[in-house]
């Protein structure tokens, strides 16, 4: 994996970090992160963006950017003390490290945000937020058994088109359960290095999946205790909202913001969206699987220390209320947001809170 990165001022008011990840000489991922809010704007995997950017998004370094992964802190939702979802998404963050290649071969970039006179005016506390982003390939081992004419897999595996071509076999699409994360995935191609292994019928190969890891740390750097809520407001780009499913909510209690914040129990195994949705699911499992992501992909979202999951889509009914969203754009995204929002986090002086989400496809 080769990693190139730059932090550049592309226009006077736009400061974006761009990270390019190459695998086997091919551009595998391209990531863009805006300094305004440390908002991940775009995460392109094999040319297709996993994240949604509104065509009406405002890049004036004032308004929150309706794109990618804005961060809510120190408050999720409307807030009498300051802007909705807090000030983190509308603050200029500092690039602390990177973009650089870490010891695992992944690309990392680290941003930070500390309190200022302005933040203390809204919320009189001292803090340091550290936001570490890691992009790369997750590799896992699989065992390939058999001979050229009998290429088959055991627990999981693949027979890539290139490998099969070399073996004189017709193309084959293999689906397999990923032994690393468990979800069923379709694998149709192999990297060159692994092709050699398969041609020689070696027993170990690699399947690569792409991952984005967002790791947030909040430190209380003051001398008084504070409470906060926080959330990663993921906007996922989808092919067609009506075909999207989200797993992991069945049997859970949720707060329905579209119905006066009343609480209900979710009966569906898989959520689908066919109307205005604004739900806070409480105590969600550590992972959700989202289907229908741009290009027919399936995304797995794992999370730690984010006990709640918010699902939001304004549908055509509410979209006109958002000037930075095109009226038909609700068809092209779903927000599935990892948060610590129902019960606030309390931090005593010097204490730290960390939470992480891992997106894999
Ligand atoms: O328009 P904003 O402030 O970015 O918020 C968008 C939506 O974000 C969601 O997280 C909230 O649950 C919704 O209530 C809100 O409308």
Give the model confidence (pLDDT) of 82-119 as tens digits: 999 999 999 999 999 988 887 767 888 999 999 999 99
> Is 347 inside a domain boundary?
yes
Give the confidence band of 195 by pLDDT, cuts at 50, 70, 90. very low
Residue 272 structural domain: 2-137+212-360
Mean pLDDT of 327-339: 98
Q: Does residue 163 surpass a pLDDT of 70?
A: no
Clarify whether residues 218 and 195 are in a common domain.
no
CA–CA separation, 2 vs 244, rounded Å? 33
Residue the block writes with tokens 């009406």: 56
Question: Taking Cα atoms as reference points, which of 133, 23, 78, 82 lies closest to residue 278?
Answer: 78
The alpha carbon of 325 and the centre of ligand 1 are apart by a number of angstroms equal to 12
**Residue 227 pLDDT:** 98
Give the confidence band of 167 by pLDDT, cuts at 50, 70, 90. low
**Residue 218 pLDDT:** 97
Clarify whether residues 219 and 295 are in a common domain.
yes
CB atoms within 10 A of CB 271: 23
Question: Taking Cα atoms as reference points, which of 241, 247, 243 lies closest to residue 270?
Answer: 247
Q: Report the atom number in ligand 1 closest to the C-alpha of 278.
A: 12
Question: Taking Cα atoms as reference points, which of 276, 1, 230, 309 lies closest to residue 136?
Answer: 1
For residue 257 and ligand 1, the question of a CB distance below 6 A is answered with yes
The values of phi and psi at residue 163, to 5°, are -60, -45
Active-site hit among 36, 233, 288, 340: 233
Single residue among 178, 200, 222 that ends a domain in this structure: 200
Terminal alpha carbon distance of the chain: 17
CA–CA separation, 216 vs 353, rounded Å? 8
For residue 84 and ligand 1, the question of a CB distance below 6 A is answered with yes
Is 266 catalytic? The answer is no
Query: Half-sphere exposure of 55 toward its Cβ, with a 13 Å CA cutoff?
Result: 7
The alpha carbon of 332 and the centre of ligand 1 are apart by a number of angstroms equal to 16
For the record, the structure tokens of 348 come out as 């005593």
**Residue 88 pLDDT:** 98
Q: What is the pLDDT of residues 299-332, one digit of tens each?
A: 999 888 999 999 999 999 999 999 999 999 999 9
> Is 41 inside a domain boundary?
yes
Clarify whether residues 348 and 262 are in a common domain.
yes
Clarify whether residues 219 and 335 are in a common domain.
yes
Give the confidence band of 177 by pLDDT, cuts at 50, 70, 90. very low
Give the confidence band of 282 by pLDDT, cuts at 50, 70, 90. very high
Q: Does residue 6 surpass a pLDDT of 70?
A: no
Query: Half-sphere exposure of 303 toward its Cβ, with a 13 Å CA cutoff?
Result: 26
Clarify whether residues 284 and 325 are in a common domain.
yes
The alpha carbon of 175 and the centre of ligand 1 are apart by a number of angstroms equal to 36
CA–CA separation, 88 vs 242, rounded Å? 32
> Is 142 inside a domain boundary?
no
For residue 310 and ligand 1, the question of a CB distance below 6 A is answered with yes
For residue 85 and ligand 1, the question of a CB distance below 6 A is answered with yes
Give the confidence band of 340 by pLDDT, cuts at 50, 70, 90. very high
Q: What is the pLDDT of residues 217-230, one digit of tens each?
A: 999 999 999 999 99
The values of phi and psi at residue 258, to 5°, are -80, -10
> Is 289 inside a domain boundary?
yes
Which residue's CA is minimally distant from atom 6 of ligand 1?
A: 312
CA–CA separation, 187 vs 37, rounded Å? 35
> Is 206 inside a domain boundary?
no
Give the confidence band of 19 by pLDDT, cuts at 50, 70, 90. confident
**Average pLDDT of every residue of the chain:** 82
Mean pLDDT of 7-22: 65
CATH number at residue 83: 2.70.98.10
Clarify whether residues 153 and 133 are in a common domain.
no
Which of 36, 58, 85 gets mutated to test ligand 1 (max ligand atoms within 8 A of its CB)? 85
> Is 242 inside a domain boundary?
yes
Q: What is the DSSP string of 268-308?
A: -SEE--SS-EEEEESS--SEEEEEEETTTEEEEEEEES--E
> Is 205 inside a domain boundary?
no
Which residue's CA is minimally distant from atom 7 of ligand 1?
A: 312
Give the confidence band of 24 by pLDDT, cuts at 50, 70, 90. low
> Is 74 inside a domain boundary?
yes
Q: Is 35 left (phi over 0), alpha (psi -120 to 50) or beta?
A: alpha
For residue 125 and ligand 1, the question of a CB distance below 6 A is answered with no
CA–CA separation, 248 vs 271, rounded Å? 9
Question: Taking Cα atoms as reference points, which of 57, 52, 84 lies closest to residue 68?
Answer: 52
Which of 54, 233, 260 gets mutated to test ligand 1 (max ligand atoms within 8 A of its CB)? 233
For residue 244 and ligand 1, the question of a CB distance below 6 A is answered with no
CA–CA separation, 317 vs 194, rounded Å? 50
The alpha carbon of 213 and the centre of ligand 1 are apart by a number of angstroms equal to 23
Clarify whether residues 93 and 40 are in a common domain.
yes
Q: What is the pLDDT of residues 239-255, one digit of tens each?
A: 999 999 999 999 999 99
Single residue among 200, 224, 240 that ends a domain in this structure: 200
Whole-structure pTM value: 0.82
Clarify whether residues 182 and 227 are in a common domain.
no
Counting every residue written for the chain, the total comes to: 361
Active-site hit among 34, 36, 288, 337: 337
The values of phi and psi at residue 330, to 5°, are -60, -20
Clarify whether residues 86 and 222 are in a common domain.
yes
The values of phi and psi at residue 260, to 5°, are 55, 35
CB 78 within 8 A of CB 345: no
Is 337 catalytic? The answer is yes
Residue 125's SS3 state is coil
Which residue's CA is minimally distant from atom 12 of ligand 1?
A: 278
CA–CA separation, 113 vs 111, rounded Å? 7
For residue 337 and ligand 1, the question of a CB distance below 6 A is answered with yes
**Residue 170 pLDDT:** 54
Clarify whether residues 256 and 337 are in a common domain.
yes
For residue 164 and ligand 1, the question of a CB distance below 6 A is answered with no
Least confident stretch, 122-131, 163-172, 184-193: 184-193
The values of phi and psi at residue 154, to 5°, are -95, -115
Which residue's CA is minimally distant from atom 8 of ligand 1?
A: 312
The alpha carbon of 77 and the centre of ligand 1 are apart by a number of angstroms equal to 7
**Residue 198 pLDDT:** 35
Clarify whether residues 128 and 261 are in a common domain.
yes
Give the confidence band of 148 by pLDDT, cuts at 50, 70, 90. very low
Per the structure, how many domains does the chain have? 2
Q: Report the atom number in ligand 1 closest to the C-alpha of 64.
A: 4
Q: Does residue 157 surpass a pLDDT of 60?
A: no
Give the confidence band of 7 by pLDDT, cuts at 50, 70, 90. low
Clarify whether residues 253 and 113 are in a common domain.
yes
Share of the chain above pLDDT 70, in %: 75
């Amino acid at each position: 994996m080769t990693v190139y990165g730059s932090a550049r001022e592309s226009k006077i008011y736009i400061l974006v970090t761009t990270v390019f990840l190459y695998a086997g000489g091919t551009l595998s991922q391209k990531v863009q992160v805006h300094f305004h809010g440390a908002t991940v704007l775009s995460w392109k995997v094999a040319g297709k963006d996993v994240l949604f950017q509104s065509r009406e998004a405002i890049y004036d370094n004032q308004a929150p950017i309706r794109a990618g992964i804005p961060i809510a802190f120190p408050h999720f939702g409307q807030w009498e003390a300051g802007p909705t979802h807090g000030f983190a998404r509308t603050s200029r963050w500092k690039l602390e490290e990177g973009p650089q290649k870490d010891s695992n071969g992944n690309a990392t970039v680290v941003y930070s945000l500390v309190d200022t006179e302005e933040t203390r005016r809204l919320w009189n506390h001292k803090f340091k937020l550290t936001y570490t982003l890691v992009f790369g390939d997750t590799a896992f081992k699989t065992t390939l058994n058999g001979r050229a004419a009998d290429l088959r897999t055991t627990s999981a595996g693949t027979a890539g088109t290139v490998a099969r071509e070399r073996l004189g076999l017709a193309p084959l699409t293999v689906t397999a359960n990923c032994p690393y994360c468990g979800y069923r995935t379709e694998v149709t191609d192999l990297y060159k290095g692994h092709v050699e292994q398969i041609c020689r019928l070696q027993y170990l190969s690699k399947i690569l999946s792409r991952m984005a890891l967002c790791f947030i740390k909040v430190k209380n750097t003051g001398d008084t205790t504070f409470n906060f809520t926080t959330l990663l407001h993921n906007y996922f780009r989808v092919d067609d909202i009506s075909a999207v499913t989200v797993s992991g909510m069945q049997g859970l209690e949720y707060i329905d913001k579209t119905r006066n914040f009343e609480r209900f129990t979710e009966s569906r195994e898989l959520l689908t969206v066919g109307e205005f949705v604004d739900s806070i699911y409480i105590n969600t499992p550590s992972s959700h699987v989202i289907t229908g992501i741009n290009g027919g992909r399936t995304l797995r979202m794992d999370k730690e220390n984010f006990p709640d999951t918010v699902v939001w889509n304004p549908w055509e009914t509410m979209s006109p209320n958002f000037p930075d969203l095109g009226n038909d754009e609700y068809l092209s995204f779903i927000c599935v947001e990892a948060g610590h929002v129902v019960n606030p986090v309390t931090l005593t002086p010097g204490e730290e809170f960390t939470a992480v989400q891992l997106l894999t496809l």
